[in-house]
Amino acid sequence: MNFERPVDYLYQQLIDSARADIQQQTGRPAPRQSLQGYEYAKQWSNGLTGNLKITHAQPGVRYAYELETPRDHYGVDYQFAPDTDGHQTVLEYAETFLGKDKKTNANNKLGVLFLGWFRKRRFKKMMNQMAASYNQ
């Protein structure tokens, strides 16, 4: 995906969101140094819990995390690159799901098949909102 915003801006928006989540989940501010390697327990409103580990936090290049829940292992990876003029961002986004048993894996595959379009649409909307805040 291409966004008409600088790489550093979009990356910082993502990091600010991660720091806010850390504050909300732990009750403590996120560390000031790099978030790479930081781990914390995460709980959702539906009661699901998991452990989130930030695996990559390379400014303007890559942000990735892994989330371990009782049923699944998720991986999310954002890779940033400036366009040739330096004013646009090329963003590559990838998700991986690995269930801890065959039934969960089958459910994940069906979910990706049926809900993949909605997830991609929600992701694009989130990134477009981040990009839109650039001029505000």
Residue ranges and CATH numbers for the domains of the chain are 2-135 (3.30.530.20)
Q: Return the pLDDT at 61.
A: 95
Helix, strand, or coil (residue 112): helix
Rounded to the nearest integer, the mean pLDDT of the chain is: 86
Beta-sheet pairing, 49-58 with 39-43: antiparallel
Helix, strand, or coil (residue 96): strand
Q: List Cβ neighbours of 39 (8 Å cut-off, separation of 6 or more).
A: 51, 52, 53, 54
Q: Percent of the chain having pLDDT more than 90?
A: 46
Kindly report, residue by residue over 122-131, the tens digit of the pLDDT: 777 877 787 7
